[in-house]
Amino acid sequence: MKAENYIKLEFPARSVNEGFARAAAAAFAAQLDPNMTELGDIKTAVSEAVTNAVVHAYPEAIGVVQLRMRILPNRELEIVVKDRGVGIPDVERARTPLYTTGGEERSGMGFTIMEGFMDKLRVRSIPGRGTTVTMRRKLTGRG
């Protein structure tokens, strides 16, 4: 599907960059004039995906997270968060609410939250090679 506009950003998998990713996603999505609920949902979904990459993908090092966004026809926003980390051995299990590999301080709700705020969520992962989270949301906008 041909994009009407797109961005591609890369940044170190550091927790301080989660806020940057949220802001960048909101700024890019702004051209679709989203309502406040849509904007909040986009920011939260991006935050969850980036946090997953930071916390789970690179347990022994600081790797790279890639954020790509596209505006597709009919006001559909596509968000892709990709890492080249350890990967997820069992994606179906990882998408189960409350499942986490991040210790007691993690809720295990990241994928559930992303799925709840987006129209579509696809998670592809290869152990040892990384994970790609693709989310789509059709925006109604403020008008």
Residue of 18, 38, 48, 78 marked catalytic = 48
Instruction: Establish whether 104 is a catalytic residue.
Output: no
Residue 5 among the catalytic residues: no
Catalytic residue among 17, 22, 38, 52: 52
Question: Annotated catalytic residue: which of 68, 75, 95, 106?
Answer: 106
The C-alpha atoms of residue 58 and residue 29 are separated, in whole angstroms, by: 28
Dist. CA 19–CA 79, nearest whole Å: 16
17 is catalytic: no
Please check whether residue 111 is in contact with residue 125, taking contact to mean a CB–CB distance below 8 angstroms: no
CB 95 within 8 A of CB 112: yes
Instruction: Please tell me whether residue 1 adopts helix, strand or coil conformation.
Output: coil
Give the catalytic positions in this structure: 48, 52, 106
